[in-house]
Structure 1
Amino acid sequence: MSSSTEKRKPIRAADGAELREVLEAHDRVLVEFYTKGCAMCQAIEPVLGNVARQTGITVVMVNPGDDVELVDEWSIRSAPTLVLVEDGEEVARLAEGFQGGDAIEAFLDEHAN
């Protein structure tokens, strides 16, 4: 893995199995649960790319509509939902619609170990 964060961008997981692979490979991951056609989800995507580059955190995006078991497994009730996972465990959740980069970075700082 490169130490440079310049080219960091969100990883797209196709389903729950790919999401688990990302969570197992990284200690700290910000997961975005999005839905196709969601304007707020589309708007937040470049913001998440900037957050990944600025903070060095791994960001993974997954559409629970492509793997409906994720809806119950992660208790997804709205999109976009951001979930901070550390060592495989959910530590915080942000499900308040579109968030700017400063708000997401503050959320990460607030819940950092």
Structure 2
Amino acid sequence: MESPDRPISVDTAADLDALVDEHPLVLLEFYTAGCAMCQALEPVLGTVARASDVVVATCNPQTDLSLAERFQLGSVPTLVLLEDGVEVGRLADGFQGVEAILAFVEDARSTSRE
């Protein structure tokens, strides 16, 4: 299945579970409204979606607090890489550029295959 060329908005745990069932590799960004770093990350994630085979999704955990608990979120933005529904990588270091996120995705995928 082809991955979308822009981030998909996920509002609930059920939305996320359906997306993960459909796509083996999902990069999920957790953000909150009013977060300047999160807003700055938006165009970067669009480029990541177009430049890779990973499905990029965005989620405001305030729309479904169970997601904040499920992923033990401490800060935003937080990027979580899910492979077959299992977290294989997490990046919670604030703003990251396209190259850093693509490297993170590749590193996490490589590590999960070992």
Alignment of 1:24-63 (within 5 A): 24-63=21-60
Instruction: Report the counterpart of residue 16 of structure 1 in structure 2.
Output: 13
- Structure 2 residue matching 1:75: 3-state secondary structure: coil
State TM-score, norm by structure 2: 0.91
CA offsets per residue over residues 72-98 of structure 1, 9 Å max, x none?
A: 111011000000000110001000111
How far off is 1:19 after superposition? 1.1
Which has the larger helix fraction? 2
Instruction: Report the counterpart of residue 92 of structure 1 in structure 2.
Output: 89
Within 2, Cα distance between the matches of 1:100 and 1:11?
Answer: 19
How far off is 1:109 after superposition? 1.2
Select 1:101's aligned residue among 80, 98, 103. 98
Q: Where does structure 1 differ by over 6 angstroms across 4 or more consecutive aligned residues?
A: none
Gaps of 5+ in 1: none
Residue identity opposite 1:62 in structure 2? C
How far off is 1:17 after superposition? 1.1
How many residue pairs are counted as aligned between the two chains? 110
State TM-score, norm by structure 1: 0.92
CA contact (8 A) 1:8 1:56 kept: no
- Structure 1 residue matching 2:27: 3-state secondary structure: strand
Gaps of 5+ in 2: none
Instruction: Report the counterpart of residue 107 of structure 2 in structure 1.
Output: 110
C-alpha root-mean-square deviation of aligned residues, in Å? 1.3
Instruction: Report the counterpart of residue 73 of structure 1 in structure 2.
Output: 70
- Structure 1 residue matching 2:100: 3-state secondary structure: helix
CA contact (8 A) 1:30 1:85 kept: yes
